[in-house]
Chain A
Amino acid sequence: MKKKLLIAVLGVVTLSVGGFFLWKYLFAESPETQIRRTFQELSATVKKSGKEGLIVAMEKARDAAAFFDEVCTLKLDRIPHGVGAMSRQNITANTLTLRNYFQTMKITFYDMEIFVEKESPEALVTFTAVFEGNPASSGRQVKETKEMDAGLVRKEDRWLLKSLAFRDVIRK
């Protein structure tokens, strides 16, 4: 009897928790959640696990560029072509170069802070980006961690990156 009751209670709790999260996911997605999801999708799109053909690389690069606004302003000092206004074509080309250079690569985003007002079409996000990659030419692992500011704009229900810049975590 007790066992059945326990199973019933557990079932109700599981269903309630599951239902709550399903409801949150389906109907109550805040701009913050949408922005977080955008970055998760960007991370999944950029990830490269092994060798890939040129067409796949091209498609992935184009998919990655779709996360950016038509023109994106970059202020990424000490990175080749990292400063200035970039079109989606430029971003596709640069992403393709990067994918060819690295055999495996991934970008992870941590410590995301999102500043967005309700109904506002613009948002500011600060985060830590960790880039890890293995160059195809050598087995030496590359790991770069950068603090970044990103400006986003909402267009047709999608959040697009319109600016990216490095920032200091700690400023003297």
Chain B
Amino acid sequence: MDIREKINAFVFPKMNRTFAIRLAITVAVCFLFFKFVCKPVFLSGGSMEPNYHDKTLNFCWTPTYLFRSPRKGDVVALRYEGDRVMLLKRIVANAGDTVEFRNGTLFVNGQAVREPYVKYNEGCWNLPLRKVAPGCVYVVGDNRGMPIEQHKFGEIRKSRIEGTLLL
């Protein structure tokens, strides 16, 4: 079989039984992979700017936390409304930690946290001290330039974490 025939066979495959089985397996594997392992997510909203942009496509990698626990600094996708709407946030504190914001600076366990990923910060976020409940993590978006009232962040159950972002 010369190269032209090979290309022809690849582009216009014969619809025989073997090809049908291969096609069915490929479709099934792709479906399972993108449904449960590497979920496509369309980012909507600017709470993670400038690190993750509004109206972009990304992938949520779900096996990450099969082998380790969520850590501070991880950017995670969180199930918010059923399994269709997710929040994208960064973990800043674990269960038992105390969290507070003073003039835009995040304090965890009384210590100011260095956050190189925060590029927009008006310095006006203030939040009284609170302790993260057992079984929960504290998540915040990277965009601190938006008013604190408009920003969805806070304590959320670990079981809500769907995975980390691939890109």
Contact = CB atoms under 8 A, between A and B. Distances in A.
B155 A113 contact: no
A110 B139 contact: no
Given A111-B79, A111-B82, A145-B82, A169 B127 contact: no
Contacts of B157: 113
A108 interface: yes
B82 A170 contact: no
A110 B85 contact: no
Contact of A145 (B85, B152, B156): B85
A130 B79 CA distance: 13
Contacts of A130: 81-82
A170 B81 contact: no
Interface residues of A, number: 12
Interface string A131-172: 000000000000001000000000000000000000011111
Contacts of A108: 82
Contact of A170 (B83, B154, B159): B154
B160 interface: yes
B153 interface: yes
A131 B87 CA distance: 20
Contact of A171 (B83, B154, B159): B154
A130 B127 CA distance: 31
A111 B82 CA distance: 7
Nearest to A143: B81
A145 B84 CA distance: 11
Contact of B154 (A110, A128, A172): A172
B128 to A, nearest CB: 10
Interface string B17-43: 000000000000000000000000000
Nearest to B156: A170
A172 B83 contact: no
Interface in B71-121: 78-83, 85, 87
Contacts of A110: 79, 82-83
Nearest to B148: A172
Nearest to A113: B159
A172 to B, nearest CB: 4
Nearest to A127: B82
Contacts of B127: 172
Contacts of B85: 145
A145 B139 contact: no
B79 A170 contact: no
Interface centre among A128, A169, A170 (most CB of B within 10 A): A170
Interface of B: 78-83, 85, 87, 127, 139, 152-157, 159-160
| Cβ-closest 4 pairs across A and B | A145-B81, A172-B154, A110-B82, A170-B154
8 contacts: A111-B79, A111-B160, A130-B82, A168-B154, A169-B160, A170-B152, A170-B155, A172-B127
